[in-house]
Amino acid sequence: MISEREKKIIVELRNDSRQDITKLAKKYGFPKSTMYDLLHRLEERKILIHASKVDFEKLGFPIQIFMIIKTTLQHKESMRRFLTGKKNINSIYTVNQGTNFLFEGIFRNQKEVEEFLEELEEKNPLTQINVFNVIEKICSEKFLTEEEHFA
Amino acid sequence: MNALGLDDLKILAHLRQDSRKNLTKISRQTLVPISTIFDRLKKYHKDIITKNTILIDFKKLGYELKVNILLKTSQDKRETLRIFIEKNWNVNNVYRINNGYDFMVEAVFKNMIQLEDFNDNLERIGIINKQEFYILEDLKKEAFISQPEFVEMLR
């Protein structure tokens, strides 16, 4: 499914996606063109996207929360539209039967959180809502940062 | 209020969208000189930018299961649990959280057998409360401050 060369490039870019591809080619003794081809193929197949992770707190957004909500089957689509349209939402997943959503919100202060929650409940029929504040980020995007992880 | 200016947020939004984007392109799109962007990147590195990485569609690599797990253990076992999840190869993200749980763990597995092994190890440590959420679809990933055209709204 995935070649040894692809594994190497994935691990390298998981650790630093701004790395110079020419230097990587030299490191592993691959031709530069092969390295670029591998990367482009992975990008075209939408296996990976390049993204910088930032410390939101240092940008003035110290509150990170996860929410797990449940809606009814007939409101699943409107809920999806509501969440994807919100600027404060960093990541959204559908979970379990697809009527549950797990998402991560980033906020400037508690007032913003309260306003968001009010709007969420006002515009969407929810059968369940759980809110978890992040106290500490312990590790982030760690899987496949080492070749052994492919085992 | 942000200590950073609008140009900073725009540069960061470009990198959030594509961490490999070259500086010439960012400069053209933000109208910030390349030399300034270069200096700012040095400033952001390891401080504001915590990691330049790739986000992976694990399913396409053969990892069929992505699970979010909420975990609660007793206070005396918290450190053991933390060390276990931090070191486990299948774990992708870990957060310390509140509201009745200690950790939220995102882990990736090839199949149910791997997940069961992981769960068996958790049980051995001693879990008081656990909830598992199987991720069916990623609707949005790392989207906050990733659209340069909207960063002004965030100020």
E strand map for chain B? 49-56, 65-72, 91-97, 103-109, 129-140
Q: Between the CA of residue A27 and those of A6, A34, A48, A149, what are the distances in Å? A: 14, 13, 22, 21
**Cα(B51)–Cα(B71) distance, rounded to whole angstroms?**
26
Sorted by where each begins, the domain ranges of chain A are 4-51, 56-133
Which of B53, B57, B66, B105 would best serve as a mutation to test chain A binding (most A beta carbons within 10 A)?
B53
Q: What is the amino acid identity at position B99? A: N
Helix axes A21-28, A4-15, angle to 10 degrees: 130
CA angle A36, B59, A103 (to 5 degrees): 110
| Partner B, chain A 103-142, Cβ-Cβ below 8 Å | 103, 106, 130-142
**Cα(A91)–Cα(B125) distance, rounded to whole angstroms?**
30
Pick the CATH number of B58-134 from 3.20.20.370, 3.30.930.10, 3.30.70.920, 3.40.50.300: 3.30.70.920
What backbone torsions phi and psi does residue B3 show, to the nearest 5 degrees?
Answer: -80, -15
Q: What is the DSSP letter of B45?
A: B
Question: What residue ranges of chain B are covered by domains with CATH 1.10.10?
Answer: 6-53
Phi-psi region of B147 (alpha: psi -120 to 50; beta: other; left: phi over 0): beta
Nearest Cα residue to A5 out of B113, A33, B111, B54: A33
Q: What is the pLDDT along chain B (155 residues), one digit of tens a residue?
A: 346 889 999 999 999 999 999 999 999 999 999 999 999 999 998 789 999 999 999 999 999 999 999 999 999 999 999 999 999 999 999 999 999 999 999 999 999 999 999 999 999 999 999 999 999 999 999 999 999 988 887 76
**Cα(A71)–Cα(A3) distance, rounded to whole angstroms?**
42
Looking at the domain covering B6-53, what would its CATH class be?
mainly alpha
Nearest to B54 among A14, A66, A106 (CB): A14
- Measured between CB atoms, does B38 come within 8 Å of chain A? no
Note whether A56 contacts B57, CB cutoff 8 Å.
no
Report the CATH number of the A56-133 domain. Answer: 3.30.70.920
Residues of chain B contacting residue A61, judged by C-beta atoms under 8 Å apart: 144
CA distance to partner chain A, nearest, from residue B85 (Å): 10
Domain A4-51 sits in CATH 1.10.10: yes
pTM of the predicted model, to two decimals?
Answer: 0.94
Question: What residue ranges of chain B are covered by domains with CATH 3.30.70.920?
Answer: 58-134
ipTM value greater than 0.85:
yes
**Cα(B50)–Cα(A45) distance, rounded to whole angstroms?**
27
